[in-house]
Amino acid sequence: MNIRSRWFLLFAGLMSVTMVMAAACSSGTSSGDKTKTAAAGGPPSLGLHLLMGKSTPEIVRNMIDDISKGRIAPGELIARKAR
């Protein structure tokens, strides 16, 4: 983790516990999940589209393209509240 990331965590009142760089990324929701929900008459799934708005498909396409070209790498940061 670089110094900038540590500064943002400290500014937010958090301390880094671990950071893992992932080799692959998953959207977390398959098209099968959406089909089952729609067939059951339930509400649409909660997802990034609600958080990011109408530009979500374009942003996700660009992200996937950048990951496949090695420009960026997905990662996971686990933090805890500073005491």
- What is the predicted pLDDT for the residue at 22? 64
Q: Is residue 77 helix, strand or coil? A: strand
- What is the predicted pLDDT for the residue at 35? 58
CA 10 to chain centroid, in Å, comes to 21
Closest to 72 measured CA to CA, from 21, 28, 27: 21
Global pTM? 0.48
CA angle 70, 25, 60 (to 5 degrees): 80
Q: What is the pLDDT along the chain (83 residues), one digit of tens a residue?
A: 667 777 777 888 887 667 776 654 444 444 555 556 656 676 667 777 788 888 989 999 999 999 999 998 888 777 788 77
> Residue 1 has which token pair?
């983790």
